[in-house]
Amino acid sequence: MVVEETQMPASGSPIRSTRTLPEILSQPAAWLASQREAASAACFPSALQSLHDASELLFVGCGSSFYLAEAAASAWTLLAGKKGRALPASELLLFPDLCALDSPGLKAVIISRSGRTSEAIRAADFLKNRRKMETIGITCCSSSELAAICHATVALPSADETSMVMTRSFTSMLLALLRLACPPPSGGLLTDAFASASAAVGSRIQPLSERAESFVLQHDFADYVYLAQGPFFPIGREAALKMTEMSCSYAQAYHTLEFRHGPKSIVSPETCITFLLSETGLEAETEVLLEMKHLGGVIVAICNRASRSVRHAADFLFELEAGVPEIALLAPFLVLPQLLAFHTGLKKGFNPDEPKHLSRVVILD
């Protein structure tokens, strides 16, 4: 089932982009549909068991799918208590000796929305056929080269997009990877949490998009910074990539506390600083937020529950207010950055459906 909506923005003029915004807005429903799709996949039980038989997991992808690999690696370590790490496919192909591929019990998870990205396919083939490693694929395209190569592949076709940029495919594949990280037989450990997160986002997403459009129209920014720690850091990296892809803006992601160690020199009233606030590091991350506010930056705060100081300092506050484990916040925290990137792209005269210079899949000769 694919849920699509056509929205009229607050300004009342039709959006030139006809695909990306409905795909972003469809995420709460797409998360539930893709969870059902994953759990009912014939290979899901064997993929779940195979992953949990591994002593270490290497997550591999390109572009957004590499940041998804990083988020999955963090989640795997936190949920399954096993070592998870991530690499871009290119590193495996160019510097295999730096990738610690001899770890005993190591298995690989290759992530690719299209299942056709040349580097991802070559990495899967290398790991399977040259390093004799068990490979599990995660994709939105079941009839793909990736699915043909991997020992087992979980496919989520309902989460695929027609747009170039990855939005609901990213968050849906992330939720599927989180579910796979829950040890059997409690693979459904997070099912209720995902449903709560979907409901919390679903009840807010339309007005959130209108607030995001208004915020974008009221500000002109020269720089975009995304700050996050722990499993939220890859989400910050993906958020920065969305802003770059959809609006051709220069966006950077840093570990929140790292931002003090030099990069904060750029902070000005033309700097939009988005904080993806964890619960684990909230106090320390809030101190950075208050400092950057004092330096004159414009603050976007994304959190589950805002403290009084965050509420007072934020120029744009998104509170999810969901009673879910912290790890279930990763996907919902990406929605506002996707919306801000989309509306920024429209404001700058771009069509986020077809970003400049980009293709939906990078195929190499």
The site for ligand F1P (CB under 6 A) is made up of 62-65, 112-114, 117, 120, 164-166, 358, 360-362
Cis bond upstream, residue 185 (ω within 30): yes
Give the integer Cα–Cα distance in Å for 120 and 144: 12
In the bound complex, what is the minimum distance in angstroms from residue 354's beta carbon to ligand F1P?
11
Give the integer Cα–Cα distance in Å for 191 and 179: 8
At 107, is the secondary structure helix, strand, or coil?
A: strand
In the bound complex, what is the minimum distance in angstroms from residue 117's beta carbon to ligand F1P?
3
Report which residue's Cβ sits closest to ligand F1P: 63
In the bound complex, what is the minimum distance in angstroms from residue 65's beta carbon to ligand F1P?
4
Residue placing its CB nearer to ligand F1P in the complex, 37 or 145 = 145
In the bound complex, what is the minimum distance in angstroms from residue 66's beta carbon to ligand F1P?
7
Cis bond upstream, residue 45 (ω within 30): no
CB 155 within 8 A of CB 140: yes
In the bound complex, what is the minimum distance in angstroms from residue 140's beta carbon to ligand F1P?
8
Residue placing its CB nearer to ligand F1P in the complex, 34 or 112 = 112
Residue placing its CB nearer to ligand F1P in the complex, 134 or 145 = 145
Residue placing its CB nearer to ligand F1P in the complex, 89 or 324 = 89
CB 49 within 8 A of CB 182: no
| Count of C-beta atoms within a 10 Å radius of residue 172 | 27
Strands 83-88, 56-61: pairing is parallel
Q: Can you give the C-alpha Rg of the chain in angstroms?
A: 20
In the bound complex, what is the minimum distance in angstroms from residue 358's beta carbon to ligand F1P?
6
Q: Write the burial class of residue 307 (CB in 10 Å: 0-12 exposed, 13-18 middle, 19+ buried).
A: middle
Residue placing its CB nearer to ligand F1P in the complex, 100 or 358 = 358
Say how far residue 15 (Cα) sits from the centre of its chain.
24
In the bound complex, what is the minimum distance in angstroms from residue 359's beta carbon to ligand F1P?
6
Could you tell me which of 232, 231, 236, 265 has the C-alpha nearest to residue 251? 236
Residue placing its CB nearer to ligand F1P in the complex, 110 or 267 = 110
In the bound complex, what is the minimum distance in angstroms from residue 292's beta carbon to ligand F1P?
28
Residue placing its CB nearer to ligand F1P in the complex, 38 or 120 = 120
* Residue with token string 């509420």: 311
At 138, is the secondary structure helix, strand, or coil?
A: strand
Q: Which pair of tokens denotes residue 147? A: 């699915």
Distance in Å from the first CA to the final CA of the chain: 35
Residue placing its CB nearer to ligand F1P in the complex, 164 or 277 = 164
